[in-house]
Each structure stands twice: as C-alpha cells, then as structure tokens.
Amino acid sequence: MNLLFTSSGRRTQLIKYFKQELGNEGRIIVADYNSTAPTLYIADKGYIVSSIDNSNYLNEIKEICTKEDITGIIATIDPELSLLAKEKEEFNNLGVQVIISDYDIVEMCFDKYSMFEFLKNNGFNTPKTYANLDDFTKALYRNKIDFPVFVKPRKGSSSIGINKVSTLEELKILMKYNTDLIVQQYMQGQEYGVDLYVDIISKDVISIFLKKKLSMRGGETDKAVSVKNDKLFNMILDFIKKLKVVGPVDIDVFEIDGEFYISEVNPRFGGGYLIAYECGENFPKYILNNLKGIINTSHIGKYEEDIYMMRHDIVTIKKRCELLQ
C-alpha cells in the first residue's frame, strides 16, 4: 500500500507519523512544486511537480499514481482540496482513493460565507458574517454588530489577507479595492481547535480531539493543550452528521460566556493535528484501515487531558547537487 501526499511542503512530522504507521506495508510518496520542500527529503520518494494552477498538474499527479502504484492520496492545503475532490471518480478509475469529502462539501467549507449560511440555517452558533459592505453597514446602523471586525477573503487559507478593522472608513477602503472580501464579527474569547476523523466507509465520527489554543503563528496553532468538553463533543457530533464530511477534518471554535461558536471548517489535516496523534488519536491508522476496507470503531474522548504541544523549528541541510530536480 503506497500513499501520495500532494503539496506536502513542510509537513514533515505528519509524514513521519504515516511512515511509522505504515511500516513495511508500503511507501510514502510526496509531491511538491518546490525543490526545497523539506518533506521531499524524508519521504520514501519525492517528486517535483508543476504548481496546482498549471493545466498539466493533474496529469502529473495521475502519472505518479500509476508509476508508484498509489492506493490513496492525501491533500494538505486548502487550494488543492476542491481540485482533487472534483477528480475523485477519475482517480477511482485508476484504483486510487482520494481521502477527501465530496466536491460540493469541500467548496462550501472553503467558501466562508457559504459555511456561515450553512451553520446559521442548521441552528449552530457562528460569528456574524456579511458578504458585502452594504449588508454590514445596515447591520451596523441597526446595532446588530460593532467594531472591531475581521475582514478576510471569502475563499482563503493560512490567515492570508485577514485584517482587524476598527473604523468604517478603513473598512470602506479595504473593500473598495477587493470585492472578494467578507466582514466577520470579531470573536473575543477562548479559541479551540477540533481535530476529528469521519470513517470513510461507515461515515461515522470515529475520533474528536479538543485542544485549547494557547498561541498562534502564521495562522496555525503554535502552542496548545488537550482538553475535554462534553458539550462541545455533542455539538461537533451533531454538526458533522449534518455536514456529511469524511476523513480528517479541522474545525476552529470560540467559547464566549459558556457558548461555543464554530468559526471555520477545513476538510483536511489541521496544522495542530500533531498533538492529537501524540495523545493517541491515530488518524493515519484510521486511514490505512479504511483503505484496507476495515471500518474503524469509535475512539471519542479516550485521550488524556493536560498534554501540552509546543511546535518548534528544525533544519534540513542539503547541497545544491542533492536537491531534487
């Protein structure tokens, strides 16, 4: 059994976890457009490919799948999720399973305003969100929202393009030059990260891991501690049953005055998943089981609390002649 990680970048620890779980049963292959992506040098084999917006990108990935006898594909960045989800059937015809939710669900998760509407229509707390300046201004004058607010791309990732805005004048300037921005309520409360796994075969939630975020860096969790909360467990179970995602999912949640607000949903591995694995929430094993046709059993809430994660830097050194071409 061979797995392919696309746009693998710097997610070295995640690759190491998969290599550890796979053992001698197969190989871990990675692909990235940048020859200095660290994962290229810790996987069993690395490929330099075109960027994901290149028209030949998918053909290159399919060629790797055929050449390396790939069983499953795991995407690690948001912009690639929809691209691969749309091609799930074609990959299935090659005997390759893309570990991802259906295309329409992935698109809704990536579109922050569409996700806001889904959450609101299904009765879940979520930050107030406005698709344009006119709607926000009306709400402002009706005292339904106040400054500061967050302004962010309707479709974006890694906290790119996010600004905290304190005045209407500043907001008008930002939105004048970018029509793809949304305005979102500024949430001043405790932020949690939720890592969960939905069995690809049974479609049941197998694992929910909660971490209290202690600090952030570049849009990802930098320091966190494992926690448990039955109210949040139950809310996430209810939410996922209605959303119908599969595989690994990363959710951002805020707690304000004892109430939980779902902020963002990413149908992929989150950057802070590492602490979940170290606490026994073994998503790589769950994926391998599913690829073998094995249905996983529930593991919700069986991890240890008060385990701290502190992400930090390591360095990989290569001479020019050692870089992949």
The pLDDT value recorded for residue 138 is 97
User: For the chain, where do the domains classified as CATH 3.30.1490.20 start and end?
Assistant: 128-185
CATH class of 188-310: alpha beta
The pLDDT value recorded for residue 277 is 97
Q: How far is CA 117 from CA 55, 83, 114, 211, 244, in A?
A: 32, 23, 5, 26, 16
User: For the chain, where do the domains classified as CATH 3.30.470.20 start and end?
Assistant: 188-310
The pLDDT value recorded for residue 268 is 97
The pLDDT value recorded for residue 72 is 98
The pLDDT value recorded for residue 128 is 98
The pLDDT value recorded for residue 45 is 98
The pLDDT value recorded for residue 188 is 92
pLDDT tens for residues 83-105?
Answer: 999 999 999 999 999 999 999 99
- 128-185: CATH topology is Dna Ligase; domain 1 (3.30.1490)
Q: Which residues of the chain have pLDDT under 50?
A: none
The CATH number assigned to the domain with range 2-100 reads: 3.40.50.20
Instruction: Name every residue whose Cβ is closer than 8 Å to that of residue 16 and which is 6 or more positions away in sequence.
Output: 42
The pLDDT value recorded for residue 159 is 61
The pLDDT value recorded for residue 158 is 59
**CA-wise closest residue to 19 among 313, 320, 284:** 284
Report the chain's mean pLDDT, rounded to a whole number: 95
Give me the phi and psi of 307, to 5 degrees please: -100, 125
User: For the chain, where do the domains classified as CATH 3.40.50.20 start and end?
Assistant: 2-100
Q: Is 218 left (phi over 0), alpha (psi -120 to 50) or beta?
A: left
Give me the phi and psi of 171, to 5 degrees please: -65, -45
